[in-house]
Amino acid sequence: MHRCLEIPDVLDAIISHLPAAPMEESPEARDFAAIRRRALASLACASRNFEEPALNALWRFQETIMNLLNLMPAGLWERLDGAMRPTRRLVQEDLKRLEHYSHRVKHLELWEQGPTFIHVFGALRLVLPANSALLPNLHFLLWTYSDGATYPFIDLFLGPELKALIFGGAQGCNAHYALLAKLEQSITPTLWTFCLDPPAPGSTPPPTNWVSNFARRMTHIKVFLVGAPINLSALIHLGGLETLHTFRATLPTSISIPEPPKGTLFSNMREVTLGIESGGIPAATEFVRTWNIPPVESFNGNYSGCIVPQHLEDFHGVLGTHCRLDTLKEFNLCLWDQSPGCLYPGHLLTSLILFHNLTVLYISAYEGYEITDEIVSSLARAWPQLEEFHLASVVQSRHPPRATLLAIRALAQHCPNLRALEMTFDAINVPPNAPLAIRQRSLPQLDVVFSPITEPRPVGQFLSGIFAELREITTQDFSTAMLWANATMFASSFGNPQPTPWSDQEEKEKEVVYL
């Protein structure tokens, strides 16, 4: 055998070229994963040099502990009433073969629910040495159990190498939050990633100190995604960690940041998601004031209750002065203020023009924004790299829209990469048709939300002159759905002919089939 095949890095590189299984859950993906497992097993058996790296790759990712149980003596486990149970008391000798493989498992996802493995966990706890983990080199753990009876056994998987702990599969399970008190003492503070789903809507929020005390123990956290409230001291502690780059939490309704931390925290944050317990967007503004000009790439806000436009304008202004202007790519804001007449002034959007590299704008407000052609045109010129533009609303505003098809034309003219567009505009008063010299070719679908329309033909003709690939127009107003369907048809017939049975497209598809 060639000497190069004695170098571990070379062997790992060879194994890495085996095709990875698709991530989606499908019969094809499962078949592909089975083929990969057989290939790794064959490679491990074919050569002593490949044995260790192939076995490491074969066992690295596990979605159940059943494969580990199968390594133990035959007849040791039986299934009764839907649960795996030991047929006798386990002894140290039962773990001998398992220990040869358990250190190879780096990624474990526990999806089973109910009492399937509760007795297995108990039996393993009795035979394992004190303070030892079943998988000593585990890096990633996904824990989906919502049954509190399983929680005392989570430390079976909390080894010294654990870097990511994800709670999932049971949104709103407050028992997951209660478990944090136990984890405070058993989990390593050098954890890199921690994720815990938000409480279910309508459920009682967990006590703030459950998450906050856990957060204050973290010293190297990179990703902290928690949907529950945390207190001020936990915020300041996390903000002082240079490792943190992704953050999600719910802020209290009002916070008061001491002077020293202002402008000194969260210096390396890339992605942030903020919620407010019950409105209070000034709390988000105060939180942003603590930032030390981080290179934020994605901002997500979810605020409810009464939201004053002036508070929103203040928030935009503070955001523009406390983070880098050239890095923000995605800005998502959901405003759930259901106060009567809550139509936000459109000029609030122009304060976001400072972020000149924006690619995604998603803003959802109950009645939306009062925008004009001039406002949309200024946004389009400021964001030439824009790919998604969403101005969503929940209900139809009592005020007629001021923006017209000219706003849509400005987006088509200045944003060649735009592939998703959602906004309300006036499609009753159609301006003179002014097709673009080079039509925009990236937008396949247009969401007109609550846009009024009376004559679909001129609207379709106007849209066909600016969008070359427009194939679908959707609306949330059922009373105009048929008119917009006709506008789609006219847009296609004027400038976007559909493929015919003998079109070039079908000929190409036939060639692919023959190949």
15-29, 313-327, 359-373, 383-397: the lowest-pLDDT one = 15-29
Q: Is 503 helix (H, G, I), strand (E, B) or coil?
A: coil
What's residue 509's pLDDT?
A: 40
Has residue 256 got a pLDDT over 90?
no
CB atoms within 10 A of CB 190: 14
Do residues 358 and 379 touch, judged by C-beta distance below 8 A? no
Q: What is the predicted pLDDT for the residue at 187?
A: 78
Q: Residue 284, exposed/middle/buried by CB under 10 A (0-12, 13-18, 19+)?
A: buried
Q: How far apart are CA 152 and CA 186, in angstroms?
A: 11
Q: Model's pTM, two decimal places?
A: 0.83
Q: Are 165 and 191 in contact (CB under 8 A)?
A: yes
* Tokens encoding 113: 């629910």
Is the per-residue pLDDT at 184 higher than 50?
A: yes
CA distance 164 to 194: 6
Helix (H) or strand (E) holding 251, with range, is strand 246-251
> Whole-angstrom Cα distance, residue 20 to residue 107?
15
Return the SS3 of 173: coil
Q: Residues 290-316, buried b or exposed e (16+ Cβ, 10 A)?
A: bbbebebbbbbbbbbbebeeebbebbb
What is the tens place of the pLDDT at every residue in 417-458?
Answer: 999 999 999 999 999 988 898 999 999 999 999 999 999 999
Token pair belonging to 180: 């944090």
Task: Please provide residue 363's backbone torsions phi and psi, each rounded to the nearest 5 degrees.
Answer: -130, 125
Helical ranges in 74-221 per DSSP H: 96-102, 118-127, 174-178, 180-186, 208-217
Write the pLDDT tens digit of every residue in 315-334: 999 999 999 999 999 999 99
Instruction: Classify 168 in phi/psi space as left (phi over 0), alpha (psi -120 to 50) or beta.
Output: beta
Mean pLDDT, rounded, for 456-468: 95
The reported pLDDT for the residue numbered 498 is 42
Is residue 511 predicted with pLDDT exceeding 50? no
The three-state secondary structure class of 302 is strand
Q: What are phi and psi of 388, to 5 degrees?
A: -135, 135
Q: What's the token pair of residue 403?
A: 């923006």
The CATH number of 329-515 is: 3.80.10
Alpha-carbon span 185 to 152, nearest angstrom: 13
- Over 60: is that where the pLDDT of 295 sits? yes
* CA gap 341, 303 in Å, rounded: 17
DSSP-derived pairing of the beta strands 388-393 and 298-304: unpaired
pLDDT at 277: 62
CA dist 394 and 461 (Å) reads: 29
Give the pLDDT confidence of 69-119 residue by residue, as tens digits.
Answer: 999 999 999 998 888 999 999 999 999 999 999 999 999 999 876 678 999
Among residues 93, 66, 92, 97, the alpha carbon closest in space to that of 79 is found at 66
- What DSSP string runs through 391-456? EEESS--SSPP--BHHHHHHHHHH-TT--EEE---BBSSPPPP---SS-B-S--EEE-TT--BS-H
- Give CATH 3.80.10 domain extents, the chain: 329-515
The token pair that represents 9 in the structure block: 């890095």
